[in-house]
Amino acid sequence: MFGLVMFCMSIEKLTLIVLAAQALIYALMLWQMIKTAKATTEAANAAMQAVKTSSIIERAIVLIDSAALNTTEPEYRSVVLLTFKNFGRTTAYSVELNGGFYEFAELTGKSCGLGNWRLEKAPSRTIAPQGTSTWVTECIGTWINDEDIRMIKSRIATLRYSMDVTYTDAFGNPHQYHCEGQYDPTLKTFVTTSSTSD
C-alpha cells in the first residue's frame, strides 16, 4: 500500500512538474510572440517612414527656370517666354500656371499704365523629371502701349510678374509654387525677385 501511495504521489508530482514545464514553455512562447509582434510593428513603422521619406525626396519640384522676351528689348511685338523646370526625380502632373504682369512706376511707387494683365488659362501640362515647359504670352503690345514700353526701357517704370504654379507629384500630393520677378533693361531679361515652394 505504501508503494501505491508513493506511486500516486509520484504521478501527482510528475503531473505538477509537467504542468509547470508546459506553463513555462507557453510563457516562453508568449514572450517570443510579443517580441516578434514588436519587431513586426517596428518594421512596419520603418517601412511607412521610408515611403514618407521617399515621397519627399523623390517628388517633383517645379520652379521657374527662366522668363525672357523673344526680342532683345521690349517692343510692341515682343512676347514673354515663361519656362518652368521640374528639378525633381519624378514626373509633375497637371501643371497649371496662373498669374500675370503689372507695371510699376519707380518714381511714384504706384502701379501705372494698364495695371494688371492676367495670363490666359492654358491646358494643364505634364513635365518629366529634369524637363521643362514654356508658356508664351500674347504680344506685350496688346496690354502695354508704346509710351509704357518706352518708360520700361528708360527705367521710369518696371514690368513685373507674379506667377503661381500648381501641380501634382507622382505620389498624388498637390504642390504650389509662387514666384515674382521683373524685367531688367540692363540685362535685357527678367530676373526672379522672390520664390517660394511648399
pLDDT at residue number 84: 96
Number of domains the chain is built from:
2
Structural domain including 32 reads 1-57
105 DSSP β-pair partners? 157
Is residue 66 located within the same domain as residue 51?
Answer: no
Could you tell me if 87 and 44 lie in one domain? no
- Specify the pLDDT at position 114: 46
What element of type H or E holds 51? helix 2-57
Structure confidence at residue 79 (pLDDT): 94
Return the pLDDT at 115.
58
Q: Check whether residue 10 and residue 91 sit in a common domain.
A: no
Q: Which amino acid is at 67?
A: A
**Which residue numbers in the chain have pLDDT < 50?**
4, 114
Report residue 132 as a C-alpha cell: 521643362
Task: Assess whether 75 and 148 both reside in one domain.
Answer: yes
What's the grid cell of residue 74?
Answer: 521690349
Q: What CATH number does residue 74 fall under?
A: 2.60.40.10
Write down which residue in 16, 36, 57 finishes a domain: 57
> Residue 106's pLDDT is what?
62
- Chosen domain end from 23, 40, 57: 57
